[in-house]
Amino acid sequence: MCGRFAQIFVEQDLEHIERILNQATGVDQGLIEMWSDTYPATKAAYNIAPTQYASIIHTPSTNRIALTQAHFGLIPSWAKDRSRSSSMINARSETISAKPAYRDIYRSRRCLLPINGFYEWQKLASKIKQPWYIFRADEEPMLLAGVCDTWLDPEHGHCEVDSFSLITADANEFMGDIHHRMPVVIEPESVRSWFDPSAESREVRSLLKPANEGVLAAHRVSNRVNTTQHNDPTLLKPDSDAPPSTLWG
């Protein structure tokens, strides 16, 4: 599962993402400027939760990359309202190609969610849930696999609302001690295939797997992250007062 994450990019992070996309799809040089309009530096988000908005990368047309603010929790284009979106934050990799809400957009509207890291809650023997912050071991931005759709809001003049779900897989060994599921991480060398509308289904499915061991790192964080209104840099700091768990003692 993946229900909380952080997007707090500095220019160096944006340049790293631009290089990845440029190598994969040949994006225009103005990507960072486009991103600046979509993701203002003054609005760093340390604790994005379901039904809030985040910046996603998608391909609305061939050879074009778009950076869009999208609602976290899919609102299918055919939905009457947003009522089910909070329960559609994650799509299981094992069934995404068959589920009615996902099968079409899985083929045609795959997206990436660039993040600094995500949070997961570990169940301890004492029935306490310990939050962890998970990030790339190389400290580069992480690209999570997702699918997106556009819904016309009938209550606001049928304006377009973009939304997305993240794709999850069984946890790898590293994550397994925290939670049994994890988001699918797309590595830079796989971005081209992920966005290629002509890619064979077998090739796309091969990307829906747990991250390789050694890709991720993690540390315990404060229970302050449990409250979605908390949104500040201290949420990412290791919590030395956290109770011990079975991951690294």
pLDDT in tens, 3-37: 999 999 888 888 888 888 888 776 555 555 566 55
Q: With 80 as the cut, is the pLDDT of residue 134 above it? A: yes
Taking a C-beta distance cutoff of 8 angstroms, is the pair 169, 182 a contact?
A: yes
Q: Which residue has the tokens 């002509």?
A: 198
Q: Is 2 a catalytic residue?
A: yes
Q: Is 120 a catalytic residue?
A: yes
What pLDDT was estimated at residue 249? 43
What pLDDT was estimated at residue 20? 87
Q: What is the largest CA-CA distance in the chain?
A: 54
**Homologous superfamily assigned to 4-236:** SOS response associated peptidase-like (3.90.1680.10)
What pLDDT was estimated at residue 47? 97
Q: With 60 as the cut, is the pLDDT of residue 90 above it? A: yes
- Residue in 2, 18, 111, 148 annotated catalytic: 2
Q: With 50 as the cut, is the pLDDT of residue 248 above it? A: no
Summarised one tens digit per residue, pLDDT across range 166-217 is 999 999 999 999 999 999 999 999 999 999 888 888 999 999 999 999 999 9
Q: Which percentage of the chain shows pLDDT scores above 90?
A: 65
- Residue in 18, 33, 111, 120 annotated catalytic: 120
Mean pLDDT computed over every residue of the chain = 88
